[in-house]
Chains A and B, each alone.
Chain A
Amino acid sequence: MAEAGIIGVGNLLLKDEGIGVHVVQALEKLGIEGVKLIDGGTSPDFPFLVQGLKKLLVIDAVQLGGQPGTVYRFPLSELEIEPRAGLSLHEVGLIENLKLAQALGGPGEVTIIGVEPAEIGWGLGLSPVLREKFPRILALVLEEGNALLRTEAL
């Protein structure tokens, strides 16, 4: 059973917001072995999908104000979020779920790969900017994936 996983999250109907899912779908087509690939979509229901994994890469759109297509990398532990109680299940967000998964014996090592979006709005498929940069984004994710597999699990 795979010890490492890559989960893409986001909404495929909102252009670049869905970058994480686009990346995972592309990886599925490449036929990567030894890594569990997860299309998380917009569901908060993923903690159990990552249970039993030691290492996890999370791919999501991240707005930090860089050039569209910029790829960021940071560990979950470096992410500070304001604790806040949401009104709807949608607001049990990615970070809460990742931390919860960790509390329940999920992956100890979680790295977030963020991609700066160009356009977020209704539409299937990525914006032209991200579409053009997609091969390079995919290559970077693969590099990270390889690095992840080489390192010892925490």
Chain B
Amino acid sequence: MGRIVIDPVTRIEGHLKIEAMVEGGVVKEARSTGTLFRGFEIILQGRDPRDAQRITQRICGVCPTSHSTAAALNLDSAFGIADKIPENGRLLRNLILGAAHIADHILHFYHLAALDYVDVAALAKYRGKDPALKSVRDFIARGESAPFVSRGRSDFRLSRKASETLAAHYLKAFEMRRKGQEAAAIFGGKLPHNVGIVPGGVTAVPTVDKIASFLWRLNELREFIDNVYLPDVFEVARAYPDYFEIGAGCKRTLSYGVYELETAEADLVKRKRLFLNGIVFEDLKREPLDISRISEEVKSSWYAEECKGKPAAGKTIPAPHKKDGYSWIKSPRSDGRVCEVGPLARVLATYAGGDPRMRELVDGALKEAGVSAKALFSTLGRHLARALGAKFIADSMPAWLLELKPGEPAYIDSKVPEESEGMGLVEAARGALGHWIRIKDGKIALYQCVVPTTWNASPRDDRGQPGPLEQALTGVRLKDESSPVEIERIVRSFDPCIACAVHLLSPKGMEIGRVEIC
């Protein structure tokens, strides 16, 4: 039996390591390992609860806006103001998070996933006149392969023309990310780490100018999603139809729901949200979310056994030499069931929950792709759901902008209680994100985050059930074991995000200056 290890260690700690045992060209078993101890919860202990919004944003370079939203919802509930957020605050939070999610989905598809299917290196032979493509060609000609690293040596199936079009969109996508980030910053103050979303609402007051400025960017994003992003996903799907079957995984998804449609309901699970919460099964039946059923298991994680249990009471005691341990990630489960989280989960929950606009959107896309709804449990299904999710958010945002009341406050003041507990549930771009807090003597006694990739990249649980990503890799047939593109494509479709990248530079090049400070 052969062993394939994908371990991109050189410059990044806190990364994901994938080990696949291969026999006869088929993955028999896979192990996903998170390599960084999650110590950020410890940092928060003893601090002012209001610091959580600022500090948790720094956990993750890719989902800071989602962390700030989860922290704000968590503190809203702990401070007893969850049902008192002004309408403007609700709408602005939706708009900031929505703009960030759209930018994030575009970023993921074009700048991480598309290179799995588009041979950018082929642009070296580009003869056309597009200035952007010419600049990429010249860039590659200078021997600069990063960031356009070719993935694998084979299995690029798009025509040269289609590849060129997608490469041009890769560059256009940068402009779109910029529009999304600028839009989020209009009300969020600054990006990537916004200062606008706080417990009680949002610090910005909407003005007509700001609303117009946001709308202008939003319109461009909507045009891009409709005319470029979605068509490109279909283009890839036409060339790689087998990926509607490859990488199915556990076929059970979980969503917390996201984007508040009301302010009166304090309970986040009962609150009306644009994307519905719930677990969706292989037969596309939905079971509403029951948060009391969620607990974290640690049999395969490098944590002491007593760290097992409900996230609200979660403990973080490292046990790096544990016998069955192979990951710093815990295994969250709902009633002991393995669940995948992400755009697919929230699209499916909303679809299975009967939302008419989502049904029309998904059914139309399935018709165009020529597949059934069950094909969504797949590598391509995740990409399609991500693009459809982006459209669903973007199409919902103009109405929220129009509902804003210019000049009226978006924030309500509150006091930090001496003793309290809170919970903040939201969807990050890459899936269900939960924050839990316990306040004692006005300070944080306990803070726990269960991030999306904890679900998706979780190791085997107490019953030995592999995590969603491990299941998605098991049984996959590899065309070429020395270049396991199938594994990489499946992993990337989950959009994994291991909390906290450490990007130390270890240069090999010449050093031209050095100053020792004594």
Contacts and interface: CB of A to CB of B under 8 A. Distances in A.
Contacts of A67: 516-518
A104 B178 contact: no
B113 to A, nearest CB: 10
Interface stretch (B86-94, B254-262, B292-300, B493-501): B493-501
B6 interface: yes
Interface string A61-101: 11110110111111100111111111111111111110110
B399 interface: no
B402 to A, nearest CB: 28
Interface stretch (B53-61, B233-241, B348-356): B53-61
Interface in B151-178: 151, 171, 174-175, 177-178
B58 A12 contact: yes
Interface stretch (B35-43, B70-78, B336-344): B35-43
A60 B501 contact: no
Interface in A3-53: 9-14, 17, 39-48, 51
Interface residues of B, number: 73
A122 B40 contact: yes
Contacts of B103: 45
B512 A43 contact: no
Contacts of A82: 10
B50 interface: no
A83 B344 CA distance: 31
A94 B146 contact: no
A86 B43 contact: no
B516 A124 contact: no
Contacts of A137: 517
B512 A90 contact: no
A119 B411 CA distance: 39
Interface in B415-456: none
Instruction: Give the interface residue-count category, chain A.
Output: 35 or more
A87 B58 contact: no
A97 B11 CA distance: 14
Interface string A131-154: 001001100100000000000000
Contact of A90 (B12, B177, B510, B514): B12
Contacts of B149: 83-85
A13 B505 contact: no
A124 B46 CA distance: 13
A44 B151 contact: no
B50 to A, nearest CB: 15
Given A42-B58, A124-B55, A94 B506 contact: no
Interface string A97-120: 101100111000000101001001
B500 A61 contact: no
Nearest to A114: B505
Contact of B181 (A13, A17, A48, A123): A48
Interface of B: 6, 8, 10-12, 14-16, 18, 37, 39-40, 42-43, 55, 57-62, 64, 103, 107-108, 111-112, 115, 135-136, 139, 144-147, 149-151, 171, 174-175, 177-178, 181, 191-193, 488, 491-492, 495-498, 500-518
Given A12-B58, A87-B488, 14 more contacts: A40-B192, A48-B178, A62-B506, A66-B516, A70-B514, A74-B511, A88-B16, A88-B496, A90-B14, A90-B501, A95-B505, A99-B147, A122-B42, A137-B517
Interface of A: 9-14, 17, 39-48, 51, 60-64, 66-67, 69-75, 78-97, 99-100, 103-105, 112, 114, 117, 120-124, 133, 136-137, 140
